[in-house]
């Protein structure tokens, strides 16, 4: 005899943590957030990019779910396609662009001792 699982009983922090913000370049949805990690879904519009930035207290993993990502990490460029990923170490300038014609959708896993927005160091954009 199988036991039926009560969905409310097994509710994860996922539903409680989910929130979305919409910067001009796309959308960021927090899927799960805990003390030392945060999982986001990032959507970048075609032809857009995030600012060049770095973090003192966290690293990031980016996994491409759909579209194409042009990643610039510590001055090195790479193109990532669906199901490919990259690692962004702490204290490393980085940026992601969407050079494609469809939205870029990525899963971002932030990991570190401190994940606050005031740990984002933004660099001025080159012309």
Give the number of other Cβ atoms within 10 Å of residue 69's Cβ: 26
Taking only the tens place, the pLDDT of each residue in 45-92 is 999 999 999 999 999 999 999 999 999 999 999 999 999 999 999 999
Instruction: Tell me: pLDDT of 5 over 60.
Output: no
pTM: 0.81
Predicted local confidence at residue 117, as pLDDT: 86
| Mean pLDDT (whole number) for 94-123 | 95
Residue 7 backbone class (left: φ over 0; alpha: ψ -120 to 50; beta: rest): alpha
Fold category of 39-122 in CATH: Jelly Rolls (2.60.120)
Q: Dihedral of the CA atoms 122, 61, 109, 36 (nearest 10)?
A: -80
So where are the chain's domains? 39-122
pLDDT band at 4, cuts 50/70/90? very low
**Alpha-helical segments (H) within the chain:** 13-17
């Amino acid at each position: 005899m199988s036991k039926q699982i009560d969905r409310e009983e097994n509710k994860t922090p996922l539903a409680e943590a989910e929130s979305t913000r919409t910067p001009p370049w796309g959308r960021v949805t927090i899927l799960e957030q805990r003390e030392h990690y945060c999982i986001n879904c990032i959507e970048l519009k075609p032809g857009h990019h995030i600012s060049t930035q770095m973090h003192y207290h966290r690293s990031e993993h980016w996994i491409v779910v759909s579209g194409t990502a042009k990643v610039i990490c510590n001055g090195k460029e790479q193109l990532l396609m669906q199901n490919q990923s990259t690692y962004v170490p702490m204290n490393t300038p980085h940026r992601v662009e969407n050079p494609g014609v469809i939205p870029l959708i990525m899963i971002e896993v932030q990991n570190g001792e401190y994940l606050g927005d005031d740990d984002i160091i933004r660099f001025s954009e080159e012309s």
